């Protein structure tokens, strides 16, 4: 007597064509069988071999993956890209599949993409440095190419968790490279996943790609309130103390520059107007106070310390002139 699976195969094959729908039902029926016996496996493998040309290509892949025991990759809806990228950028599967983390979470993993969201990526980098477990705790890997990211939403009465599930497809333009945020190591996915989930949560890349507040991003990751200080109103020593205290307490810190119309001349400083930087540290050497900063581009810096990876030191006095504001997270 033929097994229910054999009958199902025969029915599906009657028209010499195996659609994605038929194969999905077949896989579901095979999963419903309590035991994936060698006989059942052989029967499905035989179907794959003898009727290879009857399958829709994606259906064949799905069945082969099931027979091989490899997890099936799920494809979820992706956030809309920037309006100006609407005709040039499309979502494509990661190939080869990367790892969520390579050498753990580091502030220097984060590289901004071709989108005006320095506030967002500088905050990712700041949280990665201050509190890497806040990032690891936020991302759940389902093992099928999808990830659920838990953010915190500032709601009346406190922060409440919000979950967003995305797949690992990349927004690509002309080649395999991701158009938006990525990790410095091409095999590391956490930066892209985090930004993609943030975009999905906020309604697409257009919603997150035209500036914003780093403090909001820190709050979304830590669930603790952030505060903002203007360098125009606060004395230099007070700015320095609040930064060094925050960093010692493992709190994320970022700093924003003035706008292009502010009258501040950035020529020759290596610093850019309308930009946000991660503040990595504060130090005092021979009576001079310095801040250590990082450009989220992962390059392009103030001064010449011999290595252009975006990380540089700046005198506090220069910082007070070139930067307009400081965000400190919880
Ligand atoms: Ca997708
Ligand atoms: Ca890393
Ligand atoms: Ca450097």
CA of 279 from ligand 2 middle (Å) equals: 18
Residue 1 pLDDT level (bands cut at 50, 70, 90): low
Each residue's pLDDT tens digit, 289-305: 999 999 999 999 999 99
Residue 2 pLDDT level (bands cut at 50, 70, 90): low
Ligand positioned closest to the Cα atom of 132: 2
- Residue-level pLDDT at 124: 98
Residue 20 pLDDT level (bands cut at 50, 70, 90): confident
Whether residue 24 is predicted with pLDDT greater than 90 in this model: the reply is no
Each residue's pLDDT tens digit, 229-240: 999 999 999 999
The pTM of this model reads 0.82
CA of 121 from ligand 1 middle (Å) equals: 22
CA of 24 from ligand 1 middle (Å) equals: 18
Average pLDDT over residues 135-159: 93
CA of 182 from ligand 3 middle (Å) equals: 20
CA of 203 from ligand 1 middle (Å) equals: 15
Ligand positioned closest to the Cα atom of 308: 3
CA of 109 from ligand 2 middle (Å) equals: 5
CA atoms within 13 A on the CB side of 70: 10
- What are the extents of the domains in the chain? 4-68, 83-220, 227-328
Q: Would you list the DSSP string of 174-233?
A: SSSSBSS-EESSTTB-HHHHHHHHHHHHHTSHHHHSB---HHHHHHHHHSS--EEEETTT
Cα separation values, 220 from 56, 146, 162, 168, Å:
42, 20, 9, 21
- Share the mean pLDDT of the chain: 93
Burial 193-219 (b: 16+ CB within 10 A, else e): bbbbbbbbbbebbbbbbeebbbbbbbb
The alpha-carbon radius of gyration of the chain (Å, integer) is 25
Cα separation values, 191 from 58, 76, 78, 134, Å:
29, 18, 16, 13
Each residue's pLDDT tens digit, 305-320: 999 999 999 999 999 9
Ligand positioned closest to the Cα atom of 90: 1
Average pLDDT over residues 129-151: 95
CA of 93 from ligand 1 middle (Å) equals: 7
**CATH code reported for the domain at 227-328:** 3.90.70.10
CA of 7 from ligand 2 middle (Å) equals: 50
CA of 199 from ligand 2 middle (Å) equals: 21
């Amino acid at each position: 007597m033929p097994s229910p699976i054999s009958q199902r195969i025969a029915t599906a094959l009657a028209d010499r064509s195996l659609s994605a729908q038929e194969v999905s039902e077949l896989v579901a029926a095979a999963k419903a069988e309590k035991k994936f016996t060698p006989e059942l496996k052989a029967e499905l493998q035989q179907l794959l071999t003898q009727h290879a040309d009857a399958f829709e290509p994606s259906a064949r892949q799905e069945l082969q993956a099931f027979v091989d025991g490899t997890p099936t990759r799920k494809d979820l809806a992706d956030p809309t890209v920037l309006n100006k990228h609407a005709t040039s950028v499309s979502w494509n599967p990661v190939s080869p599949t990367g790892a969520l983390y390579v050498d753990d979470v580091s502030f220097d993993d984060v590289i901004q993409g071709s989108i005006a969201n320095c506030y967002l990526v500088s905050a990712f980098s700041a949280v990665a440095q201050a509190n890497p477990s806040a990032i690891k705790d936020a991302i759940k890997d389902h093992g099928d190419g999808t990830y659920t990211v838990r953010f915190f939403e500032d709601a009346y009465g406190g922060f409440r968790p919000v979950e967003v599930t995305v797949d690992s497809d990349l927004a690509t333009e002309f080649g395999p490279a991701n158009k938006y945020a990525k990790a410095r190591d091409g095999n590391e996915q956490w930066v892209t996943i985090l930004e993609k989930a943030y975009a999905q949560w906020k309604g697409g890349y257009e919603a997150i790609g035209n500036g914003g507040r780093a403090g909001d991003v820190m709050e979304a990751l830590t669930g603790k309130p952030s505060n903002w200080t203007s360098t125009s109103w606060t004395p230099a020593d007070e700015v320095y103390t609040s930064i060094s205290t925050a960093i010692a307490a493992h709190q994320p810190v970022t700093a924003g520059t003035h706008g292009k119309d502010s009258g501040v001349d950035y020529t020759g400083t290596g610093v850019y107007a309308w930009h946000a930087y991660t503040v990595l540290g504060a130090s005092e050497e021979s009576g001079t106070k310095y801040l250590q900063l990082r450009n989220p581009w992962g390059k392009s810096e103030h001064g010449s310390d011999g290595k252009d990876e975006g990380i540089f030191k700046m005198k506090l006095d220069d910082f007070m002139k070139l930067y307009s504001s400081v965000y400190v997270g919880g």
